[in-house]
Amino acid sequence: MLNAIDKELLKGVADLEDIPKGAYNIRKNGELMGREVSANINIETNEAGNGIIITIKPGTQNESVHIPVILSQAGLHDVVYNTFIIGEDSNVTIVAGCGIHCGSSQSEGHSGIHEFRIGKNAQISYVEKHLAIGEGEGKRTLNPTTKIFMEENAHAEMELTQIGGVDEAKRMNEAELGPGCSLLVSEKVLTDGTQNAESKNELILKGEDSRANLVSRSVIRGDSNQDFFVQLTALAKCFGHIECDAIIMDNGTNQTMPALKAEHPGAELTHEASIGKIADDQLIKLMSLGVSYDDAVNKIIQGFLQ
Amino acid sequence: MLELKNITFTAPGTDVEPPRTIIDRLSHTFETGKLYAVTGPNGSGKTTVAKIIMGINAQASGSVLFEDRDISDWSISERAKAGIAYAFQHSARFKGITFRDLLAISLGTDDEDKLVEIIARVGICSMDFLDKPVDAKLSGGEIKKIELATVIATNPKLAIYDEPDTGIDLWTIDPMVELLKKEKEQYGTTTIVVSHNRTFLEAADQLILLRRGKIAYSGDLEGALPMLRDLSICTFTDTCEGVADVECYR
Ligand SMILES: Nc1ncnc2c1ncn2[C@@H]1O[C@H](COP(=O)(O)OP(=O)(O)OP(=O)(O)O)[C@@H](O)[C@H]1O
Ligand SMILES: [Mg+2]
């Protein structure tokens, strides 16, 4: 059922060698390619027929669901609306991601709108990788939107990675945290050539003792550009931290704008941001251990984005 | 095994300052398998010399000979491959690189057995250091231990440690001195330790005292004692001159 290109894409975005175990939904070129549900995880097509609803039963423990999207059809722009309903007290890993293979001069793209409703005391780990490969000249576009609503004491870790090959990316992350919730977002983006990536983030700390931590790491090669915006708003006694580092190589350009907004006296918000070349002392240390300049650069970038 | 010939290093001038000679026609010969301690006042040029040997600083004139080859224009990587290693006084901090990663680079393999072996050989780093990120969160002592381990892991012929004892706890200083002695004895490592710590000075086969970019003394510790006690070594007198309220209390 899976051809060589499909396999390469699935490996790249979901670390899958073949059809996954447990619940999954694989979408290829805008159509359902395969689906499996489990006793605790249900997947169904939504009413409008333009996405899926994934429902995790309350109390589900240590299960995972894979929902990769692969695209290899010239000229296709796929838009999906996926909803995740995460039951109370559950603990799940969700692996999403989109792989594009572009073999022609026609453009291809995917826009995934993911909405998460995370119940009380639930914990999720969400891993999303974006990758584009192929010899074609066509423009590859990926515009993901993630909306997260967290009820009391929910915990979410979101790992968002754009590995390479994506020409144009516009990401939007929104989150609302209830009391006692914690959210960790880590975003890693590598651009090269004339690629452009934009990431807009709006995190609202609504509940008392909620915590948000956003870590963004960008590597900007060639003549590419990345813009990163984040606004952290505190409406209660809470803790929030933003850390964004951009490494510029070649002639890359970057804009990083972290913004903090406190509407409650108990808010504790901090940010660190840096833009610059690879630090000399890091390069020199690695070279003094016997690696060449180029290998030192690669190792530092690999570590930074891993 | 290492010969410094007439080395001069000049710091580039700025708009307000003229260029400054940091190392002044320095020459010295280091013999295989000996432990050298280099000491001297802050700013006397110890780190500068160490970095010239590693190829991090380029001397204005003079040459560096390693195992009878002139390595003056070799890159840092080439010198490392030839067997020179340097433990930095101020270690680099990374993002996303762990102690394991650095050790694997030093060793040239990420084989778990080899990593464990090297940690056992170094002795002063515990196993649970392995997956620690080498970032700004490490304590001063922890980063020093890691720095030292990465140098030993390269199996150097010439190891230079720049103030390896800064921030190291009382319980680790002696084991660290023993470690460097053992490395010297078992592997014949020529060792240069820059330090202000008497324990290192006592452990050395030869002591080198640097002052204002020149070797003021080289020989055994006993011979250096009068100079180490001598207040004129204190460079504060230079900085304090002309400042009415300042006295030298050394
Ligand atoms: N690249 C450089 N540019 C300008 N000045 C420099 C440079 N490198 C070293 N210096 C100066 O040279 C002098 C010697 O520095 P060095 O770091 O070698 O001293 P040190 O003996 O190692 O001191 P410490 O005991 O404090 O570590 C200092 O005054 C320092 O500011
Ligand atoms: Mg120094």
Domain range summary for chain A, segments of one domain joined by +: 4-280
Of A290, A305, A306, the CB nearest to B81: A290
Task: Tell whether A74 is within 8 A of chain B (Cβ).
Answer: no
Cβ neighbours of A287 in B, within 8 Å: 75-77, 80
Chain A contact present for B137, CB below 8 A: no
In angstroms, rounded to a whole number, what is the distance separating the alpha carbons of residues B54 and B143?
20
- Residue burial B145-179, b: 16+ Cβ < 10 Å; e: rest: bbbbbbbbbbbbbbbbbbbbbeebeeebbeebbeb
The residue contributing the CA closest to ligand 1 atom 9 is: B48
* pLDDT at site A106: 84
Residues A243-269: what's their mean pLDDT? 95
Ligand 1, atom 27: nearest CA belongs to which residue? B42
SS (H, E, C) chain A: CCCHHHHHHHHHHHCCCCCCCCEEEEEECCEEEEEECCCCEEEEECCCCCCEEEEECCCCEEEEEECCEEECCCCCEEEEEEEEEECCCCEEEEEEEEEEECCCCCCEEEEEEEEEEECCCCEEEEEEEEEEECCCCCCEEECCEEEEEECCCCEEEEEEEEEECCCEEEEEEEEEECCCCEEEEEEEEEECCCCEEEEEEEEEECCCCEEEEEEEEEEECCCCEEEEEEEEEECCCEEEEEEEEEEECCCCEEEEEEEEEECCCCEEEEEEEEEECCCHHHHHHHHCCCCCHHHHHHHHHHHHHC
Q: Which of residues 232-261 of A touch B (CB under 8 A)?
A: 245
- Residues A264-304 have pLDDT tens digits of 999 999 999 999 999 999 999 999 999 999 999 999 999 99
Q: Which residue of B56, B93, B94, B151 is the best one to mutate when testing the A interface, meaning the one whose CB has the most A CBs within 10 A?
A: B94
B250 pLDDT tier (thresholds 50, 70, 90): very low
Best residue for ligand 1 mutational test, from B47, B166, B239 (most atoms within 8 Å of Cβ): B47
Q: Answer yes or no: is the C-beta of B11 below 6 A from any ligand 1 atom.
A: yes
A299:B105 CB<8 A? yes
Residue nearest to atom 1 of ligand 1 (CA): B11
Using the predicted structure, report yes or no on whether residue A145 has a pLDDT greater than 50.
yes
Residue of B201, B215, B189 lying closest to B163 (CA atoms)? B201
> Which of left, alpha, beta for B28 (phi over 0: left; psi -120 to 50: alpha)?
beta
Distance of alpha carbon A184 from alpha carbon B203, whole angstroms: 50
Give the residue whose CA is nearest to atom 29 of ligand 1. Answer: B43
This prediction's pTM: 0.86
A217 and chain B: CB distance < 8 Å anywhere? yes
Q: Closest partner residue to A281 among B77, B81, B92, by Cβ? A: B92
Whole-Å CA distances, A29 to A127, B67, B120: 21, 64, 54
SS (H, E, C) chain B: CEEEEEEEEEECCCCCCCCEEEEEEEEEEECCCCEEEEECCCCCCHHHHHHHHHCCCCCCEEEEEECCEECCCCCHHHHHHHCEEEECCCCCCCCCCEHHHHHHHHHCCCCHHHHHHHHHHHCCCCHHHCCCECCCCCCHHHHHHHHHHHHHHCCCCEEEEECCCCCCCHHHHHHHHHHHHHHHHHHCCEEEEECCCHHHHHHCCEEEEEECCEEEEEECHHHHHHHHHCHHHCCHHHHHCCCCCCCCCC
Distance A68 CA to ligand 2 centre (A): 54
> What pLDDT, on the 0 to 100 scale, is given for residue B195?
93
Q: How many Å apart are CA A87 and CA B35, to the nearest integer?
A: 65
Backbone φ and ψ for A301, nearest 5 degrees, come out as: -65, -45
Shortest distance, CA A187 to any CA of chain B (angstroms) = 13
Of the listed ranges A8-12, A288-292, B68-72, B180-184, the least confidently predicted one is: A8-12
Ligand 1 binding pocket includes B48 (Cβ within 6 Å): yes
Q: Which residue has the tokens 């101020």?
A: B90
pLDDT at A245 over 70: yes
Q: Do A124 and A149 touch, CB atoms closer than 8 A? A: no
- ipTM for the predicted complex: 0.90
- pLDDT tier at A29, thresholds 50, 70, 90: confident
Q: Choose from B51, B53, B54, B76 for mutation: most chain A CBs within 10 A.
A: B76
Q: How far is A278 from chain B (nearest CA, A)?
A: 10
Mean pLDDT throughout A31-52?
Answer: 91
Q: Is the CB of B191 under 6 A from ligand 1?
A: no
Of B55 and B247, the one with more pLDDT: B55
- What tens digit of pLDDT does each residue of A186-233 get? 999 999 999 999 999 999 999 999 999 999 999 999 999 999 999 999
Query: Strand pairing partners for A129?
Result: A97, A161
Quote the pLDDT of residue A55.
96
Ligand 1 atom nearest residue B45's Cα: 18
State the smallest CA–CA distance between residue B55 and chain A in angstroms: 9
Instruction: Tell me the per-residue pLDDT of B184-229, one tens digit each, with 9 for 90 and over.
Output: 999 999 999 999 988 999 999 999 999 999 998 888 888 888 777 7
Nearest CA to ligand 1 atom 4: B11
The count of other CB atoms within 10 Å of the CB of residue A75 is 11
Q: Does A274 touch chain B (CB under 8 A)?
A: no
- Site to probe by mutation for ligand 1, drawn from B8, B15, B20, B22 as the one with most ligand atoms within 8 Å of Cβ, is B22
**Mean pLDDT, chain A, whole residue set:** 92
The count of other CB atoms within 10 Å of the CB of residue B49 is 29
Specify burial of residue B46 (Cβ count, 10 A radius: 0-12, 13-18, 19+): buried
Q: How would you classify the pairing of strands A23-28 and A31-36?
A: antiparallel
**A285 contacts chain B (CB < 8 A):** yes
Given a contact cutoff of 8 angstroms between Cβ atoms, the answer to whether A53 and A43 are in contact is yes
Amino acid B247: pLDDT:
42
* A97-106, A120-129, A232-241, A245-254: range with lowest mean pLDDT: A97-106
Beta strands A52-56 and A41-45: pairing type?
A: antiparallel
Interface test with A, best of B93, B95, B148 (most A CBs within 10 A): B95
Superfamily the domain B2-96+155-248 falls into: P-loop containing nucleotide triphosphate hydrolases (3.40.50.300)
| Residue B133 beta carbon below 6 angstroms from any ligand 1 atom | no
Among the residue ranges A12-16, A177-181, A219-223, B111-115, the one predicted with the least confidence is A12-16
Give contacts of A285 with chain B, Cβ < 8 Å: 88, 91-92, 102
- Integer Cα distance of B172 and B141 in angstroms: 10
Other Cβ atoms within 10 Å of A32 Cβ, number? 12
Chain B CB within 8 Å of residue A298 CB: no
* Any ligand 1 atom below 6 A from CB of B45: yes
pLDDT over 70 at B249, yes or no:
no
Give the pLDDT of residue B234: 53
Distance, in angstroms, between B76 CA and closest chain A CA? Answer: 6
User: What residues does A147 pair with on adjacent strands?
Assistant: A115, A174
A24 and A35 in contact (C-beta within 8 Å)?
yes
**Minimal CA–CA distance to B36: which of B12, B53, B58?**
B53
Q: Does A299 contact chain B (CB < 8 Å)?
A: yes
